[in-house]
Amino acid sequence: MTEGFGLEVIESMAHGRLSLCSTGAGAVDIALKSFPAGDVDTLASYINFYKMNPDELAAECSRARETAAQYAWPLIRQRYIDVWKSVLQKTGE
């Protein structure tokens, strides 16, 4: 029901997979679809919806790839560098 950031979710999305996350998961901030933790009825409704609507599933999988691309390692590395440069500038280092 709970987890950290959810690197596995990003990896799945990078491969064009729809990832359904519970609201207790750390990845809920990046997941395209979420459901209340423990709510199996909502989870089942998502699964059934996408099973019956393959075009919607394909569109969500495409959006998943786009979202995951925002978390590519070169982009994350640059964000860390930018944060540290900002901190160092504020401290006068």
Confidence at residue 4, expressed as pLDDT on a 0 to 100 scale: 67
Interval 75-86: pLDDT, tens: 889 999 999 999
Single pTM value for the model: 0.73
CA dist 62 and 54 (Å) reads 12
Contact 32, 61 (CB under 8 A): no
**Average pLDDT over all residues of the chain:** 88
Tell the residue number behind the tokens 């919806």, with chain if given.
49
Of residues 61 and 93, which shows the higher confidence score?
61
CA dist 56 and 46 (Å) reads 11
Confidence at residue 22, expressed as pLDDT on a 0 to 100 scale: 86
Asked if residue 69 has pLDDT above 90, the reply is yes
The residue-averaged pLDDT of 18-29 equals 83
Confidence at residue 46, expressed as pLDDT on a 0 to 100 scale: 95
Q: How confident is the model at residue 41 (pLDDT cuts 50, 70, 90)?
A: very high
